[in-house]
Amino acid sequence: MYYNSFDTWWWPFLFIFLAGILPTSIWRWAGVLLVGNVDEESQILVLIRCVATSLVAAVIAQFVFFPSGPLADIPLWVRLGAALGGFAAFLFWGRQMIVGILAGEAILLLGYVLFVP
């Protein structure tokens, strides 16, 4: 099965859904079934949490330092300010992730409006 296998309007949406859901859902269900009785502070889960956190940090760093598309038009100092401002908002408002995300996005959008011609 390929992206161009069918000539219908709904096929690309179904293809993207299946290609995005199936590879990750298998591992999520395996995790749910296999770690039900594992201690949350066990060394293996601490390692898994560290690896997952480092992967998210690497993706954010790539967006900030090596962006592509329209994000590359925003100056580096604005992208850094948005990341730092979002982190500061996260810490200030009791480690609320949504607050940090929204603050970072607001700073980035404001920087885009003010400093991108």
pLDDT digits (tens, 9 = 90+) for 22-61: 888 888 888 888 877 788 888 988 998 899 999 999 999 9
Look-up of token digits 């219908």:
8
Q: Is the pLDDT of residue 11 over 70?
A: yes
pLDDT tens sequence across 81-111: 999 999 999 999 999 999 999 999 999 999 9
| pLDDT given at position 71 | 92
d(CA 28, CA 44): 16
Q: Can you tell me whether residue 56 is helix, strand or coil? A: helix
Model-level pTM greater than 0.75? no
Picking from 18, 27, 83, 21, the residue whose alpha carbon sits closest to that of residue 56 is 83
Region 57-67 average pLDDT: 95
Cα separation, 15 vs 108, in Å, equals: 32
